Structure 1
Amino acid sequence: MRANLKTANLKSGDLPGDVTHHPYDAYGLPLMVEPASPALAKDPLAVQSWFAEHHRTLEALLPTYGGVVLRGFAIPDTMAFNAMIQCYDTDPNGYAGGLTPRKNIAGKVFEASRVPADQKIILHQEMGYLPSFPKMVAFYCLKPSETGGCTTIGDMRRFQKQIPANLLDAVHERGVLYRRNYRAPGPVSDPLVALFRREWTDVLQVETVEQAEEACRAVGCEAVWEDDGSLSMRYRSSGFVNHSVTGEEVWFAQVQGMHFNQARLAQNYDTLNKAFPGGRPRPIEILFGDGGDIPEDMVTPLYDILDRLAVNLPYEHGDFMLLDNIYTAHGRQPFTGSRDVQVGLVF
Structure 2
Amino acid sequence: MSDRNGWTPLEVRPQDVGADPTAEALAGYLDSTDVGGLLVREKAVVFRGFHVPEDGLDPVLDRLLPHRIAYVHGNSPRTKVGSNVYTSTEYPPAYTISLHNEMSYAHAWPTRLAFYCAVAPASQGATPVVDGALWLESLDDEVREAFGRGVLYTQNLHSGSGLGKSWQETFETQDRDEVDAFLKGTDADWSWGPDDALRVSQSRRSTLHHPVTGAEVWFNQADQWHPASLGDDTAKALAQIMPADELPQSVTFADGSPIPDAYVLQIRDRGLQHAVDVDWHEEGDLLLIDNVLVGHGRRPFTGPRKILVAMSD
Normalised by the size of structure 1, how large is the TM-score? 0.82
Partners of 1:30 and 1:341 in 2: CA distance: 18
Please point out which of 283, 289, 300 is paired with 2:248: 283
Is 1:221 equivalent to 2:188 in the alignment?
A: yes
Per-residue deviation, residues 103-143 of structure 1 (Å, max 9, x unmatched): 33222422211222222111000110112111111111111
Is 1:310 equivalent to 2:275 in the alignment?
A: yes
Alignment length (residue pairs): 309
**Alignment check: 8 A CA contact 1:40 1:74 kept:** no
> Offset of 1:305 from its aligned partner?
1.2
The DSSP-based 3-state class of the residue aligned with 1:60 is: helix
Partners of 1:285 and 1:326 in 2: CA distance: 22
> Offset of 1:68 from its aligned partner?
0.9
Identify the residue that residue 105 of structure 2 maps to in structure 1.
129
Partners of 1:282 and 1:309 in 2: CA distance: 30
Identify the residue that residue 168 of structure 1 maps to in structure 2.
144
Per-residue deviation, residues 306-326 of structure 1 (Å, max 9, x unmatched): 231122222022111111111
Is 1:295 equivalent to 2:260 in the alignment?
A: yes
> Offset of 1:147 from its aligned partner?
1.5
Per-residue deviation, residues 179-236 of structure 1 (Å, max 9, x unmatched): 1111133x5xxxxxx3x32222222223343333223235553322345642112211
User: Which structure would you say has the larger Rg?
Assistant: 1
The change in CA–CA distance for 1:264 and 1:165 in structure 2 (over 3 A counts) is: farther
The change in CA–CA distance for 1:229 and 1:275 in structure 2 (over 3 A counts) is: farther
Q: 219-228 vs 66-75, which deviates more?
A: 219-228
Identify the residue that residue 35 of structure 1 maps to in structure 2.
14
**Alignment check: 8 A CA contact 2:158 2:197 kept:** yes
The change in CA–CA distance for 1:300 and 1:74 in structure 2 (over 3 A counts) is: closer
The change in CA–CA distance for 1:112 and 1:219 in structure 2 (over 3 A counts) is: farther
**Alignment check: 8 A CA contact 2:133 2:215 kept:** no
* Aligned ranges 1:72-151 → 2 under 5 Å: 72-75=49-52, 77-87=53-63, 88-90=65-67, 92=69, 94-151=70-127
Identify the residue that residue 182 of structure 1 maps to in structure 2.
157
Partners of 1:90 and 1:65 in 2: CA distance: 21
Partners of 1:271 and 1:115 in 2: CA distance: 19
> Offset of 1:297 from its aligned partner?
2.5
Partners of 1:91 and 1:294 in 2: CA distance: 35
**Alignment check: 8 A CA contact 2:75 2:165 kept:** no
Identify the residue that residue 36 of structure 2 maps to in structure 1.
59
Please point out which of 71, 84, 91 is paired with 2:48: 71
**Alignment check: 8 A CA contact 2:44 2:287 kept:** yes
Amino acid at match of 2:105: Y
Amino acid at match of 2:261: E
Partners of 1:224 and 1:179 in 2: CA distance: 11
The change in CA–CA distance for 1:208 and 1:154 in structure 2 (over 3 A counts) is: same
> Offset of 1:91 from its aligned partner?
5.7
CA RMSD of aligned residues (A): 2.2
Amino acid at match of 2:288: L
**Alignment check: 8 A CA contact 1:90 1:108 kept:** no
Is 1:245 equivalent to 2:220 in the alignment?
A: no
**Alignment check: 8 A CA contact 1:97 1:219 kept:** no
Partners of 2:271 and 2:16 in 1: CA distance: 37
The change in CA–CA distance for 1:308 and 1:61 in structure 2 (over 3 A counts) is: same
Identify the residue that residue 45 of structure 1 maps to in structure 2.
24
Identify the residue that residue 311 of structure 2 maps to in structure 1.
345
Partners of 2:260 and 2:57 in 1: CA distance: 43
**Alignment check: 8 A CA contact 1:97 1:203 kept:** yes
Per-residue deviation, residues 308-346 of structure 1 (Å, max 9, x unmatched): 112222202211111111111100111111111111202
Partners of 1:319 and 1:232 in 2: CA distance: 39
Amino acid at match of 2:132: M
Identify the residue that residue 190 of structure 1 maps to in structure 2.
none
Greater RCO structure (CA 8 Å; 6+ sep):
2
Is 1:321 equivalent to 2:287 in the alignment?
A: yes
Is 1:267 equivalent to 2:233 in the alignment?
A: yes
Per-residue deviation, residues 239-267 of structure 1 (Å, max 9, x unmatched): 22220211222221112211121x54343
Per-residue deviation, residues 9-42 of structure 1 (Å, max 9, x unmatched): xxxxxxxxxxxxxxx5262211112121797343
The change in CA–CA distance for 1:44 and 1:299 in structure 2 (over 3 A counts) is: closer
The DSSP-based 3-state class of the residue aligned with 1:133 is: coil
Normalised by the size of structure 2, how large is the TM-score? 0.90
